[in-house]
Chain A
Amino acid sequence: MKPIVFLVPAAVLAVAVLRAAVGETTESGGMPVGDGKPVVRVFDGARLHPVASAPVDDGVLVVEDGKIKAAGARGTVVIPEGAEVIDCRGKVIIPGLVCTHSHIGGPSGGDMSGPIQPEARVLDSIDVRATSLPRARAGGLTTVNVMPGSGHLVSGQTVYLKLREGRTIEELALRNGDGSVAGGLKMANGTNSIRSAPFPGTRGKSAALVRQSFLKARDYQKKVAAAGGDAAKLPDRDLGMETMVEVLEGKRVVHHHTHRADDILSVLRLREEFGFKVVLHHVSEAWKVADEIAAAGAGCSIILLDSPGGKLEARDFDLRNGAELEKRGVVTAVHTDDPVTDSRWLLRSAALAVRGGMSREKALESVTLAGARLLGLEGRTGSLEAGKDADFAVLTGDPLSVYSRVEETWVEGKKVFDLEKPEDRLMAEGGRGAGDTEISTTCCFSK
């Protein structure tokens, strides 16, 4: 995975900083920053869950220029002179939550014309002004993998977002080192992608179609290589094949919807054949094939639901999934699949994983650092560590307690949610204007 860096044009960045500065005096009464110096804020006295290390009571979190300057116990952290000190005694600070599987903003990928549509980008469909985004911020989320639905074998390209306040998708999208938009490829097997023609009618056919597609991509890849940069010799551009080649070259991770044990093994078999990077999603029957998943070294992005079922292949879903994967050292994230689970319940989903036997430490990691790892973003978010983006949430108490509330969410040093603001509280608690006029129809949801 190539490193992902923030490549929003400098002008946009300048505006963002200016906006932060203007907002500063009204929002929290901090220092004016007219002298152009970056704002330094110290979040003082909270219990910190850095995730990458053990929690500390009476912690100090120093944020400068959108980055974490330091995080640790009082006495171990230098508090810069002139910094704005925010009293956080009695509060709990955790890394901004990472949701590895979400449909906020009403994304769409491929249409019903065929089962394999890697060329479709959710980037082109997301409504960044939908209320599902501020609701996600209210849930403490700062990073989200927004995906197309699971009604195709290959339904399109996903996009990794930072939940910055922005008016366009470009302002929210994370970028790869080459400036391209960061994201993976959504794939699915099992019954969701089994439909009437031209979709596959069986699991055997599903796998055959996917294999054929990857083989075609390999040929395309060879032709491109053989052209040696000579434009005259390059094959005609094929957006779908270009995307599949990125997958073959490990530049784009496959996010694979899969439930039943045999379907999970089918994904691992394909991965073995074509060598792509994969994250297994939902994985209802993970507990049945946890050894195989661990042996393959695949990461899992799991969902925790209040009951099993909804379809035959999710009948044996078990709350123990997180615990069984943890036992075997599998990198495991917990996701919302918003709107299946509202983003505001992501921490609760982690608590459900604990109910199923996962350790509290790993459960918190599952919605922060583990998610960042599965998206290849662990270098910049997912934990409270010096040098990382200042993405964090301020809570009223234990992150896994039902009684705790998210009070503030910060993305890259900017407050994007504040429970004290009436318009933000509306998004946190619901009420007139907080919901969606339409019921989401992401694949099978409206069945």
Chain B
Amino acid sequence: MRAIPLLFLTTAVLPAQMAVRATHLHLMTGDLKPIVNGVVLCGADGKIVQAGLASEVVIPEGWPVHEAAVVTPGLVDARSTAGMSGILNWDSRDQEQFEHSAPMQPELRAVDAFNGRDPLVQWLREFGVTTIHTGHAPGELISGQTMVLKTNVESVTKKEDVLNGFAGVAATLGSGSLKGEGKSPGTRGKSVAMLRADLIKAKAYVEKVAKAEADKQPDRDLHLEAMGAVLRREVPLIVTADRHHDIAAALRLSVEFGFRLVIDSGADAWMMAEEIKKAGVPVILHPTMARAAGDKENLTFGAAAKLQEAGIPFALQSGYEAYVPKTRVVLFEAGMAAAHGLAPEQALAACTIRAAELLGLKERIGSLEVGKDADLALYDGDPLETTSHCIKVIIDGKVVSEVKR
């Protein structure tokens, strides 16, 4: 165990250092079971210094101690649009999640549109969500890019403000991206044909860039660069697909082009578990309480339990709503997944460590381990119970919320 050289310094010098004590401490490590009477020490650098049984972790004198019945890692929302889609639902004012001028615009960056001061971001933060994977919403064939950042970031001004400024390219297969009035794509067949043509074009561009001398590089093309990142497997193509045949189409595309696929929403994923498992593709599952309508008409509340049973890596998300609620809270979705067959610790994992793993950020967030970011959520009871409250939230070792939610 690492020594604690900060022991002799005062809190006035290093305000971020603190201890968090919990009756039930969910470290989200190993077998995921909580420890009884645990302590987490958060260092002045915003990282976890020590985490374990209260009987084994000595709280340095003078460190402020925050106590709660239950403590979990700060929650990780594996797919959100908060900060892009704002609370007012007011087009051209706070709805940046869609750009309808063309069906495929992977060049649209999330960092350029995110508003961390939107009340929805604050709302999530107060419920213990400390990290969100947000960006352009499902609803266009390729709607744009996504990113991952903490919920205490009000404006993205520097590289450190994000955990990953380019986390993926968001695509949508199925009725969500289909258009009427003779516009394309108007059918599923056309959707996939357009995606394939775009990927083929990007592939040629990538090859040209790789082969050409420095002075003979093709003109820069933001669209093809973004798709190139997908083809080079630097970022995944996050394909929102609910119907089983849309999921099948996404799997088919990933085989043809060799990109990293993440299935998003996946209402029918439980019907395709074998194929998804075989392809080694992770799923960012729709909210448990998503509406069973349209492409999601066959969703089941037991989906998370079924994916768990099938051994498919998955995480839970708040998703995107055109109307209300303008954001869901992953904790609530985890609670309902637990009520429908998923073990409670697995439900918590689906919005902490599993989400962090899926987003490629398990070294920094998602569990309470030495060296990781000191992101914690404190509750007055079982966090999965609707009637419990999140009472305090800590991000990078700083208390960011003390509202009882």
Residues of A near any B CB (own CB < 8 A): 135, 305-312, 314-315, 339-340, 342, 345, 348, 351-352, 354-355, 360, 400-405, 429-440, 444-447
Contacts and interface: CB of A to CB of B under 8 A. Distances in A.
A400 B339 CA distance: 12
B298 A434 contact: yes
A309 B301 contact: no
Contacts of A437: 293-294, 297
A447 B387 CA distance: 31
Contacts of B62: none
A400 B386 contact: yes
Contact of B324 (A314, A342, A352, A404): A314
Given A342-B292, A348-B386, A402-B339, A307 B298 contact: no
Contacts of B300: 429-431, 434
Contacts of B335: 402
Nearest to A432: B298
Contact of B339 (A305, A403, A431): A403
B326 A435 contact: no
B30 interface: no
12 contacts: A308-B326, A309-B87, A309-B120, A309-B324, A309-B326, A348-B386, A354-B386, A355-B388, A429-B301, A429-B302, A430-B298, A435-B299
Given A405-B339, A435-B292, A439-B293, 11 more contacts: A306-B327, A306-B329, A309-B326, A310-B326, A311-B89, A342-B292, A401-B385, A434-B298, A435-B296, A435-B297, A444-B323
A308 B325 CA distance: 7
Interface in B74-115: 86-90
Contacts of B387: 351, 354-355, 360, 400-401
Contacts of A439: 291, 293-294
Contact of B323 (A310, A315, A435, A438): A310
A447 B328 contact: no
Given A307-B120, A310-B326, A429 B298 contact: no
A342 B289 contact: yes
A254 to B, nearest CB: 23
A345 B325 CA distance: 14
Contacts of B323: 310, 340, 444-447
What DSSP secondary structure best describes chain A's contact surface? Answer: loop
B358 to A, nearest CB: 22
A402 B335 CA distance: 7
B386 A352 contact: yes
A267 B123 CA distance: 30
B119 interface: yes
B90 A308 contact: no
Nearest to B302: A429
B336 interface: yes
Interface in B325-344: 325-329, 332, 335-336, 338-340
B322 interface: yes
Contacts of B299: 430, 435
Main secondary structure of the interface of B (DSSP, over half): loop
Nearest to B268: A432
Contact of B328 (A307, A339, A405): A307
Contacts of A432: 271, 298
Interface string B59-72: 00000000000000
A110 B385 CA distance: 40
Most buried by B among A348, A430, A433: A430
Specify which of A340, A355, A433, A438 lies most central, judged by the most chain B CB atoms within 10 Å of its CB: A355
Contact of B332 (A306, A404, A435): A306
Contacts of B271: 432
A418 B326 CA distance: 34
B291 A311 contact: no
Nearest to B82: A307
Contacts of A435: 292-293, 296-299
Contacts of B297: 434-437
B178 interface: no
B51 interface: no
User: Which one of A305, A309, A404, A445 has the greatest number of beta carbons of chain B within 10 Å?
Assistant: A309
What 7 pairs between A and B have smallest CB-CB spacing?
A435-B297, A435-B292, A309-B87, A310-B324, A351-B386, A430-B300, A436-B293
Given A342-B289, A351-B386, A355-B387, A305 B88 contact: no
Given A306-B329, A307-B120, A429-B302, A355 B336 contact: no
Interface string B246-262: 00000000000000000
A210 to B, nearest CB: 25
B388 A310 contact: no
A401 B399 CA distance: 29
A340 B324 contact: yes
Interface in B273-328: 289, 291-294, 296-302, 321-328
Contacts of A312: 88, 90
Contact of B291 (A339, A348, A402): A339
Contacts of B89: 309-311, 447
A310 B120 CA distance: 11
Contacts of B339: 402-405
Nearest to A430: B300
A29 B398 CA distance: 62
B346 to A, nearest CB: 14
Nearest to A306: B325
B120 A402 contact: no
